[in-house]
Amino acid sequence: MQAVPILKQYKVLPGFLEITRDVKIIQNDFDTSTRLQERISELTSKWPSSEKQITLKIKKIDCLKEEAYQIVVNEQEIVISSSTDTGAFYAVMSLKWLALKESKIRCCEIYDYPDLKIRGFMMDISRSKVPKIETIKEVIDLLSSLKYNHLELYVEGFSLESTIYPEVLIDKNYLTFEQYALLEDYANDHFIDLVPNENGFGHMQDWLLQDKFKELSEVDGLFEMWGSKRTPSTLDPSNPKSIEFVKSLYDDFLPHTKSKFFNMNFDEPFELGHGKSKDIVLEKGEGEVFVDYFLTLYEHVKKHGKTPLIWGDVLLKHPESIKRLPKDVIFVDWGYNVDYPYHKNSKLLKELDVKFTTAPATSTWGVITSRYLEMVTTIRNACFYTRAYGGEGMLLTDWGDLGHLQYLPYSYPGIIYGAMCSWNVDNSPEYLIKVVLEELVGVINATLILDLSTYTRLEGAYRSYGSKLFSVILHSEGAKNESDKLGFFLNKMTYNLLSNEEAYALTLEFDALKKRVVKDDSLVTNEILGSIELLTTLLDVNMMLKAYFDGHGYLESLDNCIFSLTNYLDVHKTLWEARNKMEGYKFSALRLHQLIEILKKLKERGN
């Protein structure tokens, strides 16, 4: 089996080493590293039994870089050299891949090291879906095997315990601090830094809907953005109470964490300057107000011994304000479209002498499956330009917009490719995505996941977010605060209808994919079937709406759409429960209920 990520230097020597679980460690310069010992035992316990014994030496060589390692394999022994137990662990992971499904390893010399210092993954646990502890541990196992070293669980709203505001936890859809600490220990034991993450500026809508915190909102009441009315989501940076509130969140959470980093987020404060802070933003400028607010909270984070990360979307519009950031802050540049200018932004950040990471995407949200082209393009570009301009690393994002309706296996291709590019960006062939995915979900399911991740190519022109099929969910969500919900929805859908040719191509595609599924009752297979069922139903809704606008008969197909969506809710509930806390299901299902209610209103109009 090919090592993944691909090794930097690999020299083949004559002969083979027959692998056996009878491994005698005759030298271990990291014998105090319990976590390394445990990972070695996990690996060799899965090797075949044999009458032979092989020896293992682990040497500490101080001249090697922190995460670099060397391996020499001959016919009798394996010799690992590194300067840290982390480097030795990465050597063990390479041996894991080389020995996978093999009875022997080719004798060789290996020298390997990562391109990027930070190789991170951000898992959204705040858009309805709070995974079970077992699910997060499975993700940690996967990340660890692919040599990631950084994990964040994205927190906004009430997905994390609050001891100071326990009244907000009535839905019980959250991780406790005790669970977080257990996950942190598990991640650390697998050589991954679990970095705390909690938003404290934008994305605060759950808090601002509470009577106790409404006064902290930048705007009072609904505000309009992207053509729909939305509830407030941004704190008022000019209100000292906003600062004190966020400090209280940090004081509640950060003492339970051990990482030296903390992601403060601060992305998408959409209402900034459009409400209570309007005068100060007009006076000082958006960038300066943003930095003033950040610096006050930065000082508080430093008191907890943390180095902050912040998203860069606001300050990239105000490069002059970036210069005010303290030198230890890590600036996170996120972009999820194929034409996102990582090259331009990375060059700017280097010129400004700013520590930065880039943040590409698994591109799974807003489409039910994934957008493969966006995934590979953003990951490859992010890693290439991060290395080219001396950035700190890559943070792969995996969001759950609008009910987190996609299932976990659709994130695997992005996780695999992110590992490959952040370790060895010059040698990350896409074919290896499928090779690794097959080991995770099986050959047939791997092909289905990848094929389902390209359906948007059949929808016509490229779009920067979501898909035409998903648009019925997007715009039924957008309609929820409108007085004429049906009118709003129908108006939006006039720009999202499939042509007859596009609908026909998608029908053939989904029918063919469903026929290729081998029903083995495994969770992944059922998740694939569930995705195909939902996509097929969304296609039916789109075609029914086209018939409605064209003045053709649509009521019968409308009834079928309502029936299919209602049935799918039971499927979704079962699949949700397998990996996630059940308390979050109702928030995910709400997105489908909203669509069903819109369709019922359309039926009333037709009758």
- 440, part of any domain: no
What pLDDT score does 117 carry?
A: 98
Whether residue 350 is contained in a domain is answered as yes
| pLDDT tens digit sequence for 529-581 | 999 999 999 999 999 999 999 998 899 999 999 999 999 999 999 999 999 99
Asked if residue 513 belongs to a domain, the reply is: yes
Q: Is residue 270 part of a domain?
A: yes
Displacement of CA 390 from its chain's centroid (Å): 23
Residues ≥6 apart with Cβ < 8 Å to 501: none
Output the six-digit token pair for 328: 């230890």
Per-residue pLDDT at 552: 87
Give the domain-ending residue among 112, 127, 147: 112
Beta-bridge partners for 333: 358
pLDDT at 163: 98
287 and 163 belong to one structural domain? yes
Diameter over CA atoms, the chain: 82
> pLDDT of 338-396, one tens digit each?
999 999 999 999 999 999 999 999 999 999 999 999 999 999 999 999 999 999 999 99
pLDDT of residue 201: 98
Residue 606 token pair: 């037709």
Are 356 and 321 in a shared domain? yes
440/446 Cα distance (integer angstroms)? 8
Please compute, for residue 530, the number of CA atoms within 13 A of its CA located in the half-sphere on the CB side. 24
pLDDT number for residue 254: 98
Residues 55 and 140 in one domain: no
Cβ atoms of 52 and 20 closer than 8 Å: yes
pLDDT tens, position by position, 45-75: 999 998 899 999 999 999 999 999 999 999 9
Q: Do 493 and 548 share a structural domain? A: yes
For residue 181, the domain's CATH number is: 3.20.20.80
Q: Quote the pLDDT of residue 553.
A: 87
Q: Is residue 441 part of a domain?
A: no
- The last residue of one of the domains, among 434, 466, 482, is 434
Domain assignment of residue 107, yes or no: yes
Note whether 413 and 474 are same-domain residues. Answer: no
DSSP type of residue 131: B
Q: Could you read off the pLDDT of 140-168 as tens digits, one per residue?
A: 999 999 999 999 999 999 999 999 999 99
Per-residue confidence at 118, pLDDT binned at 50, 70, 90? Answer: very high
pLDDT band at 606 (very low <50, low <70, confident <90, very high): confident
pLDDT in tens, 461-506: 999 899 999 999 999 999 999 999 999 999 999 999 999 999 999 9
Residues 106 and 228 in one domain: no
d(C-alpha 566, C-alpha 596), whole Å: 8
Do 410 and 508 sit in the same domain of this protein?
no
Residues 399 and 509 in one domain: no
pLDDT in tens, 194-242: 999 999 999 999 999 999 999 999 999 999 998 999 999 999 999 999 9
Which residues does 46 contact at the CB level (< 8 Å), separation at least 6?
21
Q: Is the peptide bond before 5 cis (omega within 30 degrees of 0)?
A: yes
pLDDT over 90 percentage in the chain: 98
Tell me the C-alpha distance between 275 and 208, whole Å: 14
pLDDT score recorded for residue 559:
97
For the domain that residue 99 is a member of, what is the CATH number? 3.30.379.10
Domain shared by 210 and 299, yes or no: yes
- Overall domain count for the chain: 3
Regarding whether 172 and 306 lie in a shared domain, the answer is: yes
Give me the amino acid identity at 370: S
Domain end position, chosen among 112, 142, 159: 112
d(CA 425, CA 90): 17
Q: Which residues pair with 72 in a beta bridge?
A: 79, 109
Closest CA to 519 of 529, 510, 509, 511: 529
Instruction: Tell me: pLDDT of 607 over 80.
Output: no
Task: Supply the pLDDT for residue 556.
Answer: 94
Same domain? For 183 and 100 the reply is no
Question: Are 292 and 155 in the same domain?
Answer: yes
String of DSSP letters for 334-403: E--STT--HHHHHHHHHHTT-EEEEE-B---TTSSS--HHHHHHHHHHHHHHHHHTT--EEEEEE--TTT
Question: What is the pLDDT, as a whole number, of residue 140?
Answer: 98
Mean pLDDT of the chain, nearest integer: 97
Do 80 and 92 meet the contact criterion of CB atoms below 8 Å apart? yes
Instruction: Give the pLDDT mean for 512-527.
Output: 97
**The pLDDT value given to residue 94:** 98
Torsion sign over Cα 170, 172, 173, 175: positive
pLDDT attached to residue 6: 98
* Domain carrying residue 556: 455-606
Residue 4 lies in a domain: no
356 lies in a domain? Answer: yes
